RNA sequence: GUGGGUGUAGCUCAGCAGGUAGAGCCCCGGAUUGUGGAUCCGGUGGUCGUGGGUUCAAGUCCCAUCAUCCACCCCA
């Protein structure tokens, strides 16, 4: 039993998995950059007040899931539970939102003190993006199109369903909230306990309750879509038309309301049935009032957070197996040839982009070749007495039963490996 | 925060009704001197999550605790 264990809900991501993570992150980030989004790096720690004000006092996230602690002078700080509030804070504080860099992406850990379960950890990693200063539905559509592309390129599109809804503008939402409260208050006795509490604090959340009796009650509740202003309706219709035009399928989910207070108009969630109860892989929407609420000048915004822990699980199910981490394994026959082997490896690294692992430490040639095989390398290069005398190295293909090993001079060795590597790259 | 399952070698697990720990995989070495993958042989490795209790005796029973998994809840 190890003396120290990782803290509950925190994870180590080990070699084969870490490679998968990097691959997923690379695909997503590549897509974001191709849409002109630029990276912003943000602190893990913010003033607690920022989240209380930005995400909302009455949200579960703020009420009971934050890692909150006083610093040495007693100021209340929190580990970020989500990325948007910090991004907006940075945008206001630095003046970034007044410039032209209005499409931003970030990557990093988020912390929420929850009970761990499948697809849910206390530290999880998100890639998120925010687009500021664009009020029309075109940017909402761009974000969803971009995500659809990313999921497609990752090969997980079939696992995901886009659920879409609108909450209307702030005024619509207030009006709807009143209508909903008016409907539910006389029926409060029929609500489950949690929903009854929310009636006063956050009645919209009652809509997505999973309690059967509450769902029944809510089925006949007023619909947000009947409370939208002309403009709000136009915004949503505009978004839908663009999605249809782009060929992006979605499901209208009138009860999708999201657990964060800052959303207005568009809200969406990409969900999956492949991960058990934690079905949201990516979600976001529009938050036109947030910048102002956090002290900036009124600026519309829209964005999303994408849960990498869950996305990696999906990608792994779709593309199992682990790719080789080495192309060439350099071995030596006799410890005296170790330095020369290292030299040969350097020569290969100079001349090619191949991943070259040079054996180090103990072990006879036999065990070195065993290691070469296990590494997944396509070639072993062996250096020994004979090779040293001929100022070359032995090239031994490991994945091609037909091919035999040949002793080559250094120039020929480099040439052979470079040519084969290019051929393989072109084939792939 | 609530409920249920599980905690034995690095990993996956077995251990019958309490009698002083086992398999497979992995790792290391060997089966012709400098040659991988298959097979065979051998080896390293465990205070049975932790702390109490019952018992002549506990991995095995009881209690507590911690961790983990799944679900509720919540969300990415």
Nucleotide closest to residue A366 (CA–C1'): B35
Nucleotide closest to residue A260 (CA–C1'): B75
Structure tokens at A68: 């909150």
| Residue-level pLDDT at A211 | 83
Contact positions of strand B to protein Cβ (< 7 A) = 1-3, 27-30, 34-37, 47, 49-50, 66-76
| Residue-level pLDDT at A330 | 96
Mind listing the domains of chain A with CATH numbers? 15-169+229-318 (3.30.930.10), 328-421 (3.40.50.800)
Nucleotide closest to residue A8 (CA–C1'): B67
Nearest to A134 by CA among A304, A341, A302: A302
**pLDDT tens digits, A361-409:** 888 899 999 999 999 999 999 999 999 999 999 999 999 878 889 999 9
Nearest to A276 by CA among A163, A118, A115, A121: A118
Structure tokens at A37: 């989004």
Burial code (b: 16+ CB inside 10 Å, e: under 16) for A110-128 equals bbbebeeeebbbbbbbbbb
- Strand-pair partners of A275: none
**pLDDT tens digits, A25-70:** 999 999 999 999 999 999 999 999 999 999 998 888 998 899 999 9
Structure tokens at A342: 């290292």
Residues (pLDDT < 70) of chain A are: 1-3, 101, 427-428
- Strand-pair partners of A270: A162, A282
| Residue-level pLDDT at A72 | 95
| Phi, psi torsion values for A229, nearest 5 degrees | -75, 170
Give yes or no for a contact between A356 and A345, defined as CB atoms under 8 angstroms apart.
yes
Which residue's C-alpha is at the least distance from the C1' of B2?
A115
Helix (H, G, I), strand (E, B) or coil at A133: coil
CA of A404 to C1' of B30 (A): 27
Q: How far apart are CA A248 and CA A363, in angstroms?
A: 57
- Strand-pair partners of A166: A266
Q: For residue A212, give every residue at least 6 positions away whose Cβ sits within 8 Å of its Cβ, in sequence order, or none.
A: none
CA of A412 to C1' of B3 (A): 68
**pLDDT tens digits, A67-92:** 999 999 999 999 999 999 999 999 99
Model-level ipTM above the cut of 0.95: no
At which residue do the structure tokens 């080559």 appear? A408
Helix (H, G, I), strand (E, B) or coil at A364: coil
| Residue-level pLDDT at A427 | 65
Q: How far apart are CA A154 and CA A156, in angstroms?
A: 6
Instruction: Identify the helix (H) or strand (E) that includes residue A307.
Output: strand A301-307
Nucleotide closest to residue A386 (CA–C1'): B34
| Residue-level pLDDT at A174 | 87
CA of A207 to C1' of B59 (A): 50
């Amino acid at each position: 039993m190890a003396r120290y264990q990782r803290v509950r809900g925190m994870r180590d991501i080990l070699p084969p998995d870490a490679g998968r993570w990097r691959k997923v992150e690379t695909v997503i980030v590549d897509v974001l950059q191709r849409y002109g989004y630029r990276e912003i790096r943000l602190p893990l720690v913010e003033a607690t007040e920022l989240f209380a004000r930005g995400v909302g006092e009455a949200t579960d996230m703020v009420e009971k899931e934050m890692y909150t602690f006083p610093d040495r002078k007693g100021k209340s700080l929190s580990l970020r539970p989500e990325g948007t509030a910090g991004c907006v804070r940075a945008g206001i504080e630095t003046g970034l939102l007044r410039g032209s860099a209005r499409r931003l992406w970030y990557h990093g850990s988020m912390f929420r003190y929850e009970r761990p379960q499948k697809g849910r950890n206390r530290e999880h990693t998100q890639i998120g993006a925010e687009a500021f200063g664009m009020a029309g539905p075109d940017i909402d559509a761009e974000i969803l199109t971009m995500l659809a592309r990313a999921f497609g390129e990752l090969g997980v599109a079939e696992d995901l369903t886009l659920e879409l809804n609108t909450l209307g503008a702030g005024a619509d939402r207030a009006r709807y909230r009143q209508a909903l409260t008016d409907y539910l208050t006389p029926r409060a006795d029929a609500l489950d306990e949690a929903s009854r509490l929310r009636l006063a604090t956050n009645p919209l959340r009652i809509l997505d309750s999973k309690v059967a009796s509450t769902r029944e009650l809510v089925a006949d509740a007023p619909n947000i879509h009947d409370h939208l202003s002309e403009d709000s309706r136009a915004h949503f219709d505009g978004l839908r038309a663009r999605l249809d035009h782009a060929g992006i399928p979605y499901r209208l989910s009138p009860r999708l309301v999201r657990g964060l207070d800052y959303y207005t108009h568009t809200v969406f969630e990409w969900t999956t049935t492949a991960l058990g109860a934690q079905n949201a892989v990516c979600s976001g929407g529009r938050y036109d009032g947030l910048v102002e609420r956090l002290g900036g000048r009124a600026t519309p915004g829209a964005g999303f957070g994408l849960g990498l822990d869950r996305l990696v699980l999906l990608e792994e199910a779709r593309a199992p197996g682990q790719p080789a981490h080495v192309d060439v394994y350099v071995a030596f026959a006799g410890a005296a040839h170790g330095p020369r082997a290292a030299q040969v490896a350097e020569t290969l690294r100079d001349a090619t982009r191949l991943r070259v692992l040079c054996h180090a430490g103990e072990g006879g040639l036999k065990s070195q070749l065993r290691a070469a095989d296990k590494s997944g390398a396509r070639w072993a290069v062996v250096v020994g007495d004979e090779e040293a005398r001929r100022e070359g190295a032995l090239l031994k293909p490991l994945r091609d039963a037909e091919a035999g090993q040949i002793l080559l001079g250094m120039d020929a060795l480099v040439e052979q490996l470079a040519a084969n590597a290019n051929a393989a790259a072109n084939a792939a």
